[in-house]
Structure 1
């Protein structure tokens, strides 16, 4: 129970930090990209603790898999509520860029902020583990130098897993983007939790390049390029295909709809057409 209390305290501290940053930035809209830094920091820092519970919680803190899944869902739900439009996911930022909803400069700043937040979150988590507040964190501190990779299959299988999961996620996200947050946020949290739990034996289905960078890129087993192919190229390819299928084209690249015929919104009644012919 002490391990769970320490983890909950850690989560609360990270959430308060992200909420404070988001509140302060409301006064300076031009620096809104920094909210992506806080969003990514919160997501990666808390997910690292969930990962700790998954790896050693069951036999060092009496915390079973059900606790880890529950805390992961709680994290994703809280993240969606606190961070709002700041997703902390480079794939979603690039998606807005391709939809002509974000400029090139804002996209570059946002993606850079997300990776900076992920890196700082990793440093913060390592510092937290070094405090060794519980047996679980003491063991995690000993394991930190030789962490276990989340990629448990070949690069090709990993790419396909991230691609398929990201494709489904972005397709559902696009269909829900105009819905109320009361519907969208819980559904996305449930979907992310399901994918992550289901794909635990493959890639853990992060579907988020900065999240994967903070969670598994520093672990041995694969090269940086191999990780990038799976966790960066896979989600971005899935996102691009989902956007193409949903909209029929990619606005940033193709102005013309490639898949669907666009019908005129207003039709002239047949009676009016007949009258115009008689007048002629």
Structure 2
């Protein structure tokens, strides 16, 4: 359990450092630069370092530490609750940033800056975590250093099946995210954390269940066993297709590309009562026809 305690202390340290980075950047940078650069970089750094350490526990913990998957799943849920509460609106996920762009919630320069910050944050997270592992503070880290150069791909099924799995995970995640994005943080954060935990437990044996292209690049792209194009198909095309499918199902269209609703008919928000319509039509009739139905133009006797 000593190794697990060191990993938990590492999680607290990562969250604390990234939170300090967010607060410092918020004071020094203008809101635009903070929102699309510093906030995304800090969130991606925090997510990458936490997920790399957690993945190490998943691979080594059951036989090196004697704890089961229930411990790892509990840690995963708690970590994503902390991430959701501390990210300050950052997504740390390219598909979420592209979704905001398609929903007209972000312009092209801000989206490009967010994607760049996410890539830099993930790269920094990978480098810092590798340095932390090299200190070999626990037996877990010693074993991790021994097997790091011979890591294997997270794709443990056919490429087409893996693409479908990652696309389905992305579809479900984005559907929940779209449904809850206007909800209070008290309800949104645990619901998203539960969704991520469930998807990771279900799809993890097949692909690792990343449904985050930037995180997949930092975690598994350098491992042998799959080609670069296999990785791109599974961890980029799959999540992007899942995001687009979820957006079309929820929204009915892609506002950035076209306004016409393809799935749902548009109905008038306000309805006029039939009695009022009938009265309006009757009031438009010529005055001569209101009395006895005779017109004033008839010849007099």
TM-score normalised by the chain length of structure 1: 0.96
Note if 1:254 corresponds to 2:258. yes
Please state whether the residue corresponding to 1:220 is helix, strand or coil: coil
State the 1:270 CA deviation. 2.0
Please state whether the residue corresponding to 1:26 is helix, strand or coil: helix
User: Is the 1:18–1:83 contact (alpha carbons within 8 Å) kept by the matching residues of 2?
Assistant: no
Corresponding residue number in structure 1 for 2:2: 2
Aligned residues: 280
Note if 1:11 corresponds to 2:15. no
Corresponding residue number in structure 1 for 2:87: 83
CA distance in 1, matches of 2:261, 2:24: 41
CA distance in 1, matches of 2:32, 2:204: 39
User: Is the 1:97–1:103 contact (alpha carbons within 8 Å) kept by the matching residues of 2?
Assistant: yes
State the 1:138 CA deviation. 0.7
User: Is the 1:69–1:193 contact (alpha carbons within 8 Å) kept by the matching residues of 2?
Assistant: yes
Q: How does 1:155-166 map to 2 (within 5 A)?
A: 155-166=159-170
After superposition, what is the alpha-carbon deviation per residue over 1:136-160, rounded to whole angstroms, capped at 9, x for unaligned?
Answer: 1111011111113211112111100
- Which runs of 5 or more structure 2 residues have no equivalent in the other structure? 285-301
User: Is the 1:14–1:42 contact (alpha carbons within 8 Å) kept by the matching residues of 2?
Assistant: yes
State the 1:71 CA deviation. 1.3
Please state whether the residue corresponding to 2:194 is helix, strand or coil: helix
User: Is the 1:77–1:186 contact (alpha carbons within 8 Å) kept by the matching residues of 2?
Assistant: yes
CA distance in 1, matches of 2:75, 2:252: 38
Q: How does 1:216-231 map to 2 (within 5 A)?
A: 216-231=220-235
Say which is worse superposed, 16-25 or 180-189, in terms of deviation.
Answer: 16-25
- Which runs of 5 or more structure 1 residues have no equivalent in the other structure? none
Q: Mark the structure with the bigger radius of gyration.
A: 2
Please state whether the residue corresponding to 1:199 is helix, strand or coil: helix
Please state whether the residue corresponding to 2:182 is helix, strand or coil: coil
Please state whether the residue corresponding to 2:208 is helix, strand or coil: coil
User: Is the 2:94–2:115 contact (alpha carbons within 8 Å) kept by the matching residues of 1?
Assistant: yes
CA distance in 1, matches of 2:205, 2:4: 25
Match of 2:115 among 102, 111, 117: 111
After superposition, what is the alpha-carbon deviation per residue over 1:7-59, rounded to whole angstroms, capped at 9, x for unaligned?
Answer: 11211111012211222333321111221111111111111111111111233
CA distance in 2, matches of 1:171, 1:60: 37
State the 1:169 CA deviation. 1.4
CA distance in 1, matches of 2:231, 2:43: 22
Corresponding residue number in structure 2 for 1:26: 26
Corresponding residue number in structure 1 for 2:41: 37
Match of 1:74 among 48, 55, 78: 78
Q: Deviation above 4 Å: which 4+ runs of structure 1?
A: none
Please state whether the residue corresponding to 2:97 is helix, strand or coil: helix
CA distance in 1, matches of 2:279, 2:252: 37
Q: How does 1:233-252 map to 2 (within 5 A)?
A: 233-252=237-256
User: Is the 1:199–1:205 contact (alpha carbons within 8 Å) kept by the matching residues of 2?
Assistant: yes
CA distance in 2, matches of 1:270, 1:21: 61
After superposition, what is the alpha-carbon deviation per residue over 1:164-202, rounded to whole angstroms, capped at 9, x for unaligned?
Answer: 111111112111111111111101101111111111221
Corresponding residue number in structure 2 for 1:153: 157
